[in-house]
Homo-oligomer: A and B are copies of this chain.
Amino acid sequence: MAELILITGGARSGKSSYALEVSEKKSHSRIFIATCPSIDQEMSDRVTRHREERQGRGWQTIEEEIELAALFPEKVQDAGVVLIDCVTLWVNNILYNYGEEKVDDFVIKNLCLKWLLAMENFPGTVICVTNEVGLGVVPENRLARKYRDLVGTCNQLIGRKADEVVLVSCGVPLKIKKKRS
């Protein structure tokens, strides 16, 4: 991996648009890995809106809800930049597919490390989009609490490995970790 960039922020903060912009500056050969499952109309609308944003901008899209590790490096080897959008939905998919009771901190750490390791053999840039979900009051729902802990655990893993971490708020990117070059 030439470089790992983590882009975080709240819902509708402009993080995905910023991730697209950064990716498009990195390389003309771009793969978008969509982790979003189309389970209802609201989700489908979002998927469509995001796809429209990429339309005509030279992106190849791979839909992969679970097996991110299996994509690296073979299936993306021609890309200069791979954008994974987003980590939070991937965690959600893991919970849903494995079963909530089978996924704890230890399991999610290992699953996340698996794709972080697989990426090391990819020569291009990887950009991950995630959400900050832990900045509200403690959710009353136990599963929601578990979910936000698991997301936080993954965000920490990726953030510590990343060359660059960017926090987006009100459409404004703030680099909170910078590559030492």
Contacts and interface: CB of A to CB of B under 8 A. Distances in A.
Interface of A: 6, 8-14, 42, 130-142, 144-145, 147-149, 151-153, 155-160, 162, 165, 167, 169-172, 174, 176-177
Contacts of A145: 42
Which 6 residue pairs spanning A and B have beta carbons closest together?
Answer: A136-B136, A12-B152, A10-B134, A159-B170, A11-B134, A135-B135
A176 B168 CA distance: 9
A13 B6 CA distance: 14
B170 A12 contact: no
Contact of A137 (B13, B42, B139, B169): B139
B148 A13 contact: no
13 contacts: A8-B170, A11-B138, A11-B149, A11-B152, A12-B149, A13-B134, A132-B169, A137-B139, A156-B171, A160-B171, A160-B172, A170-B176, A174-B176
